Amino acid sequence: DNLRDTASSFKRAFVVEIMGRDCGYLALVSAVTNGAEVMIIPEVEYNLDSMKKRLQDEIKNGRRYIIAMVSEGAKATTKIRDWLKDEVGMECRVTILGHIQRGGNPTVFDRLMAYEFMTKALDGLFKENRRNSIVVYNNSKIDYVSIDYSNSQKHRVKEELINISKHLCV
């Protein structure tokens, strides 16, 4: 919200690099929930030519700023900054959030979930002999999965989330 206020008042674009290594989930969720105009994630191909046309049309119709969420895994932060400045024609700044994203005060829900995770973990250790398992939140419940299973899985962004955000890539 603060970046949007600054971008608007100074008529600038901001490229916000979001952590996530090779997965664009955090950048996707950030783009959708914060109303970004551009989203660049490794899971979705993007088209700078069509985005340029869309953004320039919006600028002609009164848009004063652009927020571009770029996943660290896309390795495109500098490219998007230069593109916004040179091709779209808007002064641009880069903000790399990194691990600052992990901050913030926990909500009541966060604290309750932490308590439930701790209880499940201690029960697993001392009552259920689950020493080769980890505690997970899956399908709206707290459960165990084996460490081997967890290590063998690559997190994939849900197709539904990708579908609702594709308009930010074209």
**Which band of pLDDT confidence, cut at 50, 70 and 90, is reported for residue 22?**
confident
Give the Cα separation of 8 and 4 in Å (integer): 6
pTM: 0.78
Express each pLDDT in 52-95 by its tens digit: 999 999 999 999 999 999 999 999 999 999 999 999 999 999 99
Q: Which two tokens stand for residue 153?
A: 């899985």
Q: How far is CA 2 from the centre of its chain?
A: 17
Q: Which of 95, 81, 96 is nearest to 19 (CA)?
A: 96
